Amino acid sequence: MSTAPLLCVVIDTNVVFEGLTKQGSAAGLVIDAWLAGLLQVHVSNALAYEYEDVLSRKLSDARWQELKPVLGALLSCAQFTTIYYSWRPTSPDAGDDLVIDCAMNASAIVTTSNLSKPKSFFPKSDR
Protein backbone atom coordinates (compact mmCIF):
# COMPACT_ATOMS: atom_id res chain seq x y z
CA MET A 1 0.00 0.00 0.00
CA SER A 2 1.57 3.29 -1.08
CA THR A 3 1.10 6.61 0.62
CA ALA A 4 0.42 9.82 -1.23
CA PRO A 5 3.33 12.27 -1.39
CA LEU A 6 3.14 15.18 1.00
CA LEU A 7 2.29 18.64 -0.28
CA CYS A 8 5.53 20.66 -0.50
CA VAL A 9 5.03 24.15 0.90
CA VAL A 10 6.94 27.19 2.09
CA ILE A 11 5.09 28.97 4.88
CA ASP A 12 5.20 32.75 4.94
CA THR A 13 6.28 34.40 8.18
CA ASN A 14 2.84 35.97 8.67
CA VAL A 15 1.27 32.49 8.76
CA VAL A 16 3.85 31.25 11.28
CA PHE A 17 3.24 34.29 13.51
CA GLU A 18 -0.55 34.09 13.30
CA GLY A 19 -0.57 30.31 13.63
CA LEU A 20 1.46 30.41 16.82
CA THR A 21 -0.51 33.27 18.37
CA LYS A 22 -4.12 32.59 17.26
CA GLN A 23 -5.04 28.98 17.93
CA GLY A 24 -8.01 27.75 15.91
CA SER A 25 -7.35 30.16 13.04
CA ALA A 26 -6.66 28.94 9.51
CA ALA A 27 -2.98 29.69 10.12
CA GLY A 28 -3.19 27.67 13.34
CA LEU A 29 -4.45 24.70 11.35
CA VAL A 30 -1.48 25.04 8.97
CA ILE A 31 0.90 24.98 11.95
CA ASP A 32 -0.93 21.95 13.40
CA ALA A 33 -0.60 20.15 10.03
CA TRP A 34 3.12 21.00 9.96
CA LEU A 35 3.65 19.59 13.46
CA ALA A 36 1.63 16.48 12.60
CA GLY A 37 3.80 15.79 9.54
CA LEU A 38 0.94 16.28 7.08
CA LEU A 39 2.94 18.83 5.05
CA GLN A 40 6.49 18.79 3.74
CA VAL A 41 7.54 22.28 4.79
CA HIS A 42 10.66 23.73 3.18
CA VAL A 43 12.71 26.50 4.80
CA SER A 44 16.02 28.10 4.00
CA ASN A 45 18.48 29.20 6.67
CA ALA A 46 17.57 32.83 5.98
CA LEU A 47 13.84 32.11 6.27
CA ALA A 48 14.34 30.26 9.57
CA TYR A 49 16.19 33.31 10.92
CA GLU A 50 13.35 35.52 9.61
CA TYR A 51 10.82 33.46 11.58
CA GLU A 52 12.93 33.83 14.72
CA ASP A 53 13.54 37.55 14.18
CA VAL A 54 9.88 38.44 13.65
CA LEU A 55 8.61 36.34 16.55
CA SER A 56 11.25 37.65 18.96
CA ARG A 57 10.47 41.28 18.02
CA LYS A 58 6.67 41.09 17.96
CA LEU A 59 6.07 38.92 21.02
CA SER A 60 6.62 39.80 24.66
CA ASP A 61 9.73 38.24 26.16
CA ALA A 62 7.63 35.80 28.21
CA ARG A 63 5.53 34.73 25.21
CA TRP A 64 8.64 34.39 23.01
CA GLN A 65 10.25 32.11 25.62
CA GLU A 66 7.07 29.95 25.54
CA LEU A 67 7.01 29.71 21.76
CA LYS A 68 10.75 29.36 21.08
CA PRO A 69 10.65 25.56 21.70
CA VAL A 70 7.59 25.26 19.43
CA LEU A 71 9.46 27.06 16.64
CA GLY A 72 12.38 24.71 17.24
CA ALA A 73 10.06 21.70 16.94
CA LEU A 74 8.59 23.08 13.71
CA LEU A 75 12.02 23.67 12.21
CA SER A 76 13.16 20.18 13.21
CA CYS A 77 10.28 18.84 11.07
CA ALA A 78 11.22 21.03 8.10
CA GLN A 79 13.24 20.22 5.01
CA PHE A 80 16.07 22.75 4.78
CA THR A 81 16.50 23.99 1.23
CA THR A 82 19.70 25.41 -0.19
CA ILE A 83 19.23 28.59 -2.19
CA TYR A 84 21.10 28.10 -5.45
CA TYR A 85 19.45 30.94 -7.32
CA SER A 86 17.89 34.13 -5.98
CA TRP A 87 15.15 36.08 -7.71
CA ARG A 88 15.60 39.07 -5.43
CA PRO A 89 14.52 41.76 -5.21
CA THR A 90 11.04 41.04 -6.50
CA SER A 91 8.88 42.15 -3.58
CA PRO A 92 8.48 45.41 -1.69
CA ASP A 93 8.97 43.35 1.52
CA ALA A 94 12.44 41.82 1.83
CA GLY A 95 11.00 39.04 4.01
CA ASP A 96 8.74 38.01 1.15
CA ASP A 97 11.79 37.65 -1.08
CA LEU A 98 13.14 35.01 1.32
CA VAL A 99 9.88 33.07 0.96
CA ILE A 100 9.93 33.40 -2.85
CA ASP A 101 13.56 32.26 -3.08
CA CYS A 102 12.89 29.23 -0.89
CA ALA A 103 9.73 28.26 -2.77
CA MET A 104 11.36 28.56 -6.19
CA ASN A 105 14.42 26.54 -5.15
CA ALA A 106 12.28 23.87 -3.46
CA SER A 107 9.62 23.76 -6.22
CA ALA A 108 7.08 24.31 -3.46
CA ILE A 109 3.81 26.19 -2.99
CA VAL A 110 3.77 29.39 -0.93
CA THR A 111 1.29 29.45 1.96
CA THR A 112 0.48 33.02 3.00
CA SER A 113 -2.33 35.05 4.50
CA ASN A 114 -0.96 38.30 3.11
CA LEU A 115 -2.90 38.59 -0.12
CA SER A 116 -3.15 41.64 -2.32
CA LYS A 117 -3.73 42.19 -6.00
CA PRO A 118 -0.88 40.39 -7.77
CA LYS A 119 1.51 42.54 -9.76
CA SER A 120 2.11 41.36 -13.30
CA PHE A 121 5.72 40.84 -14.24
CA PHE A 122 4.82 40.77 -17.93
CA PRO A 123 4.28 43.92 -20.01
CA LYS A 124 0.80 44.47 -21.38
CA SER A 125 0.36 43.58 -25.02
CA ASP A 126 -1.51 45.75 -27.52
CA ARG A 127 -3.07 42.65 -29.07
44-101 pLDDT, tens per residue? 999 999 999 999 999 999 999 999 999 999 999 999 999 999 876 767 777 788 999 9
Portion of the chain with pLDDT greater than 70, in percent: 87
Decide: 33 and 7 in contact? Cβ < 8 Å. Answer: no
Give the DSSP H or E segment for 15. Answer: helix 13-21
Distance CA 85, CA 5 (A): 25
- pLDDT of 126 higher than 90: no
**Going from the N-terminus, what domains does the chain have, and what CATH number goes with each?**
7-111 (3.40.50.1010)
**pLDDT band, residue 108 (cuts 50/70/90):** very high
Beta strands in 12-116, from DSSP E residues, in sequence order: 39-43, 79-80, 109-111
